[in-house]
Chains A and B, each alone.
Chain A
Amino acid sequence: MSFDLPRTRESVQGDAIEPGRAYGFFTDTTLCIGCKACEVACKEWNQLPAEQEAMSGMSYDNTRELSATTWRHVAFVEQMDGAAGNADPRWLMMSDVCKHCDPAPCLEACPTGAIFRTEFDSVVVQQDVCNGCGYCVPACPFGVVDVDEVDGKAHKCTLCYDRLKGGREPACAQVCPTDSIQFGPLDELIDRAHERTRALHDRGETDAYLYGVPDSPGATGGIEKLNAFFLLCDRPEIYNLPAAPTLPSRRIAPAFGASLAAFAGLAIAAAALLGGGRR
């Protein structure tokens, strides 16, 4: 390099990005203005193609979902009639992203070792290893990983692995106008997030809770924590997040149980119907 690398916010804060330390995102939805700068910055940095589709009609969400070529997705939830017990109208906005789960279901399902945990504790699909088997796709409880139609490989957010190696925060976190997306060492982020939740509660915003920090919704079913976690103000399903994500290895037994229960339920219902018919 023949130039002085511009100072980054990390270096200004004396907070360099160190291999061996866990990093992640704290996405605080109470600060999100739904501008989608994160989506654009992600595509620009990662050179992901745009998808030109018709408008969705789902509020201002024309991105629709995370995919092989969309690694940040801003969801819009209009609650103008004061839904969920709120007196005031709300328009919830939330920038969704790969959760970089710990442990990670996609990594667990990957037979090739293409998906691995980096020195920053993020989860990355290594493109030179991935053979496109797609096992990771159903393994992900969040619907994040996706196989690209063009190159046949699995893709998702890398937590800007390359930028972290160069000492710079991910593109979406840098660009975010209101710091709704915060990047940093995970332990610090979790502390900050708890503090933030308390502050919101003190202000009367008692709906606020964390999704994905240890021992919280989102950190369930064998997933100890989400390295990209969220501050939410309504049930996870409202944001299209699972109420209780589960590692695939944990899913087999409960799924078996659930099937049994469902079978039993159906049998009882059928019996009841038949019984009613006789009357």
Chain B
Amino acid sequence: MTRAKQSPQRRLAHFLRNWSLPRQVRGADHRSSAARSEMSEALRPRFEQAEMVGTSVCPFCAVGCSTRLYVRNGQLINVEGNPDSPVNQGTLCPKGAALLSVHTAPSRLKKVKYRAPFSTEWEEKPLDWAMDRIAALTKKTRDETFVRTLPDGTIVNHTLGVASLGGATLDNEENYLIKKIFGGGLGMVWIENQARVCHSNSVPGLGAAYGRGAATMAQWDLANSDCILVMGSNMAEAHPIAFRFVMQAKERGAKLIHVDPRFTRTSALADIHAPIRTGTDIAFLGGIIRYLLENDLWFRDYALAYTNLATIIEKDFRSPSEDPSNLFSGWNDRKKSYDQESWQYVGFTIPSALAEHYIDTAESFSELTSRLHDHPPREDPTLQHPMCVYQILRRHYAPYTPEMVEQVTGCPKEVFVSIAQALAENSGREKTGAICYAVGWNHHTTGVQMIRAGGLVQSLLGNIGRPGGGILALRGHCSIQGSTDIPTLYNMLPSYLPQPNAFKPQARHYDQFLDDETIPTGWWHNFPKYMTSLLRAWYGDAVGPQNEWGYQWLPKLVGDHSQLAMTLAMNDGLIKGLFLLGQNVVVGGSNSRMVQRGLAQLDWLVVRDTETVESASFWQKGHLVRDGEMRPEEIGTEIFLMPAELAGEKEGSFTNTHRLVQWHDKVIDGPGDSRSELWFMYHLGQRLKALYADSSDEQDEPIRNLTLDYPIRNARGDIEAESVLREISGYTWPQREQLSSFQALKDDGSTACGSWIYCGAFPENDRNQTRRRNADGPDGPGTHLDWAFAWPANRRTLYNRASADPEGRPWSEAKRLIWWDGEEESWDGNDAIDFPPDKAPNYRPDWSKKPEGMEAIRGDEPFIMMPDGRAHIYSPSGLKDGPLPTHYEPVESPGGNLLYPEQRENPVAKKFEREINPLHAPGDPAYPHVLTTYRLTEHHCAGTPTRATPSTAELQPEGFAEIPPQLAREIGVSNLDWITIATARGAVETRALVTERLHPLRLDGRQVYQIGMPWHFGWEGEATGDIANMLTAAIGDPNTSMHENKSLTCAIRAGRLTERRPE
């Protein structure tokens, strides 16, 4: 809008010249140019002024919307959704729509801000000074805390004194360098990112079922669904652009179902909304499974052929529904964990397809698994055998009746049954259904099993690997999938290879490690090729058979090094230095007081972000200071707050929620001294290499030998991001000829590959497949194979062999995707085939020859990552809390477990019980209400940068909690009044948004109130509010250490924190 002031004379002259009346009186049509002023005549759109238009990817959620950035004189003048992209088709959500303001916000960091220990203020520092100081501190802390061997002589080669957190907002190339330099170079094991507290449950949840811990379908494929169940997700709000395809399906007649504790913007668009009590999803899904089985509504031809439904399990197996203890068989009360022997297929030990293939066994693990070469698992295709999975499943879910579902979840039985019927009616040969879930299935101590339960439903209904069918894990950060694939996560190496653990005796030597972790049958048989190629990529010519390929240089784990454990380790003084790379842990981390105390214990802290975040200013404005616990002068943490760059200011690739690896170009420079994490890691790495250059110490060999030779492309010192992607994708060694596929990888050191599942992303030196931008036209197949690159091998629908029947014919004409071409003797279709391309449907292994790897997988077994080629309805190994999803109450919930009275909660849930992390007893009358935390469409995660960006801040300008009117009346508050919510961890004050959308539920004959609080808010930026995570606890899923912030209990009262309740 033009707001320039002009002189009265000029304005009058202009007015007379432009006054349309004389022209109109002369008879000109008022719609013609008669009334048009000079300004209107001259008006042209701003984008026409652009000198350059670049293509980028939105840096917020994991949908992966493509953007166009318009630049004039080195400045952004416009940002829009890219109409060519099949992901967003020109659209954006409010956060993405604000990108121009996000990039150009006056509040953006431009210089390094430094806070000396015990100081009360920030100082501005030169970038070089900060980099030198950080490198020196990193070396000092590492050297002081480095452990070469454990007392028993086990080599661990690690430091527990330095930690790194963050990566889900960063490029794959950046995550790669973080893991490589911090892990492979310095021996850090505390390397974590948002994925841990966002979607880590998805990896075992989906991986244990299908083989890969990732969404099975593309977002755009939702448009082909006949029924979409959104559960554990508020999709319309958190992933509006993915919801575009849900709406397209709905317009084509698909049924949309939303199961959620709250009535949200997603519920508003759904055909059916089923309210459930938070944390009772397995009771609901178990009810669906029972309904499908008892009414024979499952897709028999699919499930019998492609799942382990007929497989026979050890006779000693008992499920919690059968055993009076309400535990699975194998409970070890001394260790408080399960022995998994009785869970196995009869006569076998089945390794999990998850990163950690190895499980503890009494006999040699590799010897046990080697029996997989001998014969296929025993089956009873008639499903009559009492120990076949089908019969076990029926017994296990027998108690999950519609009446029980209603009692446990609070969802009326009729609504539940209508959903079960809708799912069944929209599956089978002619139809497919999809499930979309997000963190609502993740943030629980039973989260992995919730996702498993969803997978189980889809396996029974035959919805995996087919058009419009599948499970779409909706992730929350632009590259949270990428930072899981190329993990800045402690327990994995790139592409789901396990980080070695010191306490696995077999893992002491590389050959033993390979022996144990290599699965004899199925695709994972290739494990040694991937592992050795990774070590070659990291350490180059310095490694070979003579030094176990550098295996000993990899830091070994000694426990749980996840984010929650990291918070405790900071409090304990174990961690001395922390890198926070784009993760605002004070707002986003569970038990924020514990987080803030931990940060205050550190010697030094590096925070890299685009705005001043709470995690950097906790010493100034945080709860420790607010509550008088510590003064800034008492906080000794030395802090570097460094300006970071956004996508578009740097180049690299993000991996979106459906495994689509999309390149974003560098279009402009970031403001001031802002730099990419790629720049930061490279230059920090080079400084550290220089500091260690003269060392002859054995423990410094990894950093000295780490390969770090990427060309510098400009005066700012940016390195070529594509050179990092080339290494990730893989090449021959030492010729560095790019490889087109992971099938070319070798275990003899002749190939180097940073992340095998990304192999082929850069198949030739000048061919960056992630930068392809050719979508299918309206008449194309709609798999968009020339738009970016999807791992693995550009496959858009995982397990798509299952889109054809066992003989290789599409299940129906309506649901064609790939098929066997008998004449050509190969698979053909609209997607890259997720199966050996020339393996005929009638291929059968010759068991007399002890087949290995893929030789042991039949031509009609689509789940190639699994040792038996089948989807696992029953998971014999890999999960710590049982082979079948079982309803356990949240650790904090208002009452007992109606399904399993003897075992209220997940028996193996991780409870980080400390004085600073107290938990409420079940049904504690002091904390009678259910508390759930969530996000809004208007803000991004911990509020960076949407709370600081005016055009998004104004949309949700303050923190609040949603409470039902009945509860508001009980505590005497009206809409917008202040309320105080408390748990044993802390208390927050916020505004009450009184709404019937959060209606009370009946539980066990009494009324239960659910309170919802968005967790975006903090004290920085324009839209502020108290931190919801002050209320939450460090409690963990046993498999992943995922927190349970969706289901807690709390107290609530009227008034602000400082107002005392009348006695």
Which residues of B are found within 8 Å of A161, using beta-carbon distances?
A: 40, 43
* Of A1, A80, A121, A171, the contact of B996 (CB 8 Å cutoff): A80
With a cutoff of 8 Å between Cβ atoms, the chain A residues found around residue B52 in the complex are 2-3
Is A89 among interface residues, defined by CB-CB distance under 8 A?
yes
A175 to B84, CA, bound (A): 13
- The reply on A135 being an interface residue by CB < 8 A is no
Is the pair B951, A6 in contact by a Cβ cutoff of 8 Å? no
- Among A186-200, those with CB < 8 Å from B are none
Asked if A177 and B999 sit within 8 Å, CB to CB, the answer is no
Interface residues of B in 2-20 (CB under 8 A from A): 2-3, 11, 14-15, 18-20
Determine whether the beta carbon of B78 is less than 8 Å from that of A47: no
Instruction: Flag if B45 contacts A36 (CB, 8 Å).
Output: no
If A52-B950, A53-B954, A55-B957 touch, whether A34 touches B3 (CB-CB below 8 Å) is no
Q: Whole-angstrom distance between the alpha carbons of A2 and B53 in the complex? A: 10
Among residues 104 to 125 in chain A, which have CB atoms less than 8 Å away from a CB atom of chain B?
A: 107, 112-114, 116-119, 121, 124
Which residues of B have CB within 8 Å of A126?
A: 18, 36-37, 39-40
In the bound complex, how far is the Cα of B644 from the Cα of A199, in angstroms? 50
CB contact between A178 and one of B20, B244, B267 (< 8 Å): that residue: B244
B236 on interface, CB distance cutoff 8 Å: yes
Q: Which of B939-981 contact A (CB under 8 A)?
A: 950-958, 960, 975-976
Task: Report B-chain residues with C-beta under 8 Å of the C-beta of A116.
Answer: 20, 30, 35-37, 40
| Most chain A CB atoms below 10 A, which of B11, B48, B101 | B48
Residue of A whose beta carbon sits closest to that of B14: A128
**Most B Cβ at <10 Å: residue of A31, A81, A90, A126:** A126
Q: Which of B97, B960, B976, B996 has the most CB of A within 10 A?
A: B97
Contact at A6–B97, with CB atoms within 8 Å? Answer: no
Is A276 in contact with chain B by the CB < 8 A criterion? no
CA distance A54 to B997 in the complex (A): 22
> Are B97 and A40 neighbours in the complex by a CB distance under 8 Å?
yes
B362 is an interface residue with CB less than 8 A from chain A? no
Chain A residues, CB < 8 A from B267 = 91
Supposing A44-B97, A162-B43 touch, asked if A63 and B955 sit within 8 A by C-beta, the answer is yes
Complex: how many Å from CA A163 to CA B94? 20
Across the interface, do B44 and A117 meet the contact criterion of CB distance under 8 Å? no
Min CB gap A60→B, angstroms: 7
How long is the Cα–Cα vector from A39 to B953 in the complex, in angstroms? Answer: 12
Best-buried of A44, A148, A150, A161 by chain B (most CB within 10 Å):
A44
Interface string of B270-308 (1 = CB under 8 A from A): 000100000000000000000000000000000000000
Interface-side segment among B85-93, B513-521, B798-806, B907-915: B85-93
Asked if A128 and B955 make an inter-chain contact with CB atoms under 8 angstroms apart, the answer reads no
Task: Judge if B46 is at the interface, Cβ distance under 8 Å.
Answer: yes
Decide: A177 and B37 in contact? CB cutoff 8 A.
no
B957 and A150 contacting across the interface, CB-CB below 8 Å? no
Q: Using Cβ atoms and an 8 Å threshold, which residues of chain B touch A78? A: 995-997
Asked if A36 contacts B937 (CB within 8 A), the reply is yes
Contacts of B269 in A (CB 8 A): 33
Does B890 sit within 8 A of A, measured CB to CB? Answer: no
Whether A12 is near chain B, meaning CB under 8 Å from some CB there, is yes
B770 to chain A, nearest CB (A): 20
What CA separation (Å) do A39 and B952 show in the bound complex?
9
Is B80 among interface residues, defined by CB-CB distance under 8 A? yes
Name which residue of chain B comes closest to A56, CB basis.
B976
Residues on A with beta carbons closer than 8 Å to the beta carbon of B938:
35-36
Chain A residues whose CB sits within 8 angstroms of the CB of B999 once the complex forms: 80
Select from chain A the residue with minimum beta-carbon distance to B11.
A131
* Contact of A50 (CB < 8 Å), options: B20, B273, B950: B950
A36 lies within 8 A of B94 (CB): yes
B45-A33 in contact (CB<8A): no
* Residue of A with least CB distance to B52: A3
B213 within 8 A of A: no
Minimum Cβ distance to chain A for residue B906 (Å): 33
Residues of chain B within 8 A (CB-CB) of A175 are 80-81, 90-92, 97
- Complex contact A63–B97 (CB within 8 A): no
B898 CB within 8 Å of chain A: no
For residue A86, CB closer than 8 A to chain B, the reply is no
Q: Given A33-B236, A113-B24 in contact, is the A62-B956 Cβ separation under 8 Å? A: yes
Say which residue of A112, A127, A171 sits within 8 Å of B1 (CB atoms): A127
Bound-state Cα–Cα, A60 to B956, Å: 8
CA distance A69 to B3 in the complex (A): 12
Q: Taking the complex as formed, is B409 at the interface, i.e. its CB lies under 8 A from any CB of chain A?
A: no
A206 CA to B39 CA in the complex, in Å?
46
Instruction: Give Cα A75–Cα B11 distance, bound, in whole angstroms.
Output: 38
Contact with A along B30-73 (1 / 0, CB 8 A): 11110111111001111110111100000000000000100000
- Residues of A within 8 Å of B68, CB to CB, are 6
A interface, size bucket:
35 or more
Give per-residue flags for A147-185: 1 if the beta carbon is below 8 A from chain B beta carbons, else 0.
010110001000011110110100100111111000000
Question: CB < 8 Å: which of B1, B39, B50 contacts A155?
Answer: B1
Contact A129 B15 (CB under 8 A): yes
CB under 8 Å from chain A, chain B span 694-729: none
- Which A54-91 residues sit within 8 Å CB-CB of chain B? 54-55, 57, 59-60, 62-63, 69, 78, 80-81, 89-91
Q: Is the CB of B15 within 8 A of A55?
A: no
On whether the beta carbons of A57 and B993 are closer than 8 Å, the reply is yes
Residues of A within 8 A of B37 (CB): 114, 116, 126, 128-129
**A35 engages B236 (CB within 8 Å):** yes
Most buried by A among B33, B99, B952, B954: B954
Q: Are A113 and B20 in contact (CB under 8 A)?
A: yes
CA distance A31 to B250 in the complex (A): 10
How far apart sit A64 and B97, CA to CA, in the bound complex (Å)? 20
**A-facing residues in B781-807 (Cβ within 8 Å):** none
Contact present for B45 and A168 (CB under 8 Å): yes
Q: A6-B83, A62-B957 are in contact. Are A89 and B265 (CB under 8 A)?
A: no
Contact A178 B40 (CB under 8 A): no
Binary A-proximity of B979-997 (CB < 8 A = 1, otherwise 0) = 0000000000001010111
A233, chain B: closest CB distance, angstroms: 11
Tell me whether A3 and B31 are in contact in the complex, defined as CB-CB below 8 angstroms, given that A12-B83, A112-B15, A126-B39 are known contacts: no
Q: Is A7 at the interface (CB under 8 A from chain B)?
A: yes
B residues within 8 A CB of A57?
Answer: 975-976, 991, 993
A89 touching B950, Cβ below 8 Å: no
Report chain A residues within 8 Å CB of B36: 116, 118, 126
B100 touches A44 (CB 8 A): yes
Chain A residue at minimum C-beta to C-beta distance from B974: A57
Evaluate contact between B265 and A35: CB separation under 8 angstroms.
yes
On whether the beta carbons of A43 and B951 are closer than 8 Å, the reply is yes
**B residues in contact with A41, CB < 8 Å:** 92, 97
**Interface presence of A37 (CB below 8 A):** yes
Take A3-B51, A116-B20, A116-B35 as given contacts and tell me if A165 and B45 are in contact as well, using a CB distance cutoff of 8 Å: yes
Tell me, rounded to whole Å, the shortest Cβ–Cβ distance linking B767 to chain A.
Answer: 22
Contact flags (1/0) for B579-612 with A, using CB distance below 8 Å?
A: 0000000000000000000000000000000000
Q: How far is the CA of A43 from the CA of B952 in the complex (A)?
A: 10
Does residue B691 face the partner (Cβ distance < 8 Å to A)? no
Residues on B with beta carbons closer than 8 Å to the beta carbon of A148: 1
Bound CA–CA A51/B1022 (angstroms): 11
Q: Are B976 and A81 in contact (CB under 8 A)?
A: no
List A residues at the B interface (Cβ < 8 Å): 1-3, 5-9, 12, 31, 33-37, 39-41, 43-55, 57, 59-60, 62-63, 69, 78, 80-81, 89-93, 107, 112-114, 116-119, 121, 124, 126-129, 131, 148, 150-151, 155, 160-163, 165-166, 168, 171, 174-179
Minimum-distance CB pairs A-B, first 6: A113-B20, A166-B45, A50-B950, A116-B35, A80-B996, A91-B268
Q: Can you list 9 residue pairs at the A/B interface with Cβ under 8 Å?
A: A33-B269, A53-B954, A55-B991, A126-B40, A128-B39, A174-B83, A175-B97, A177-B241, A177-B243
Residues of B within 8 A of A (CB): 1-3, 11, 14-15, 18-21, 24, 30-33, 35-40, 43-48, 50-53, 68, 78-84, 88-94, 96-101, 236-237, 240-241, 243-244, 247, 263, 265-269, 273, 936-938, 950-958, 960, 975-976, 991, 993, 995-997, 999, 1022
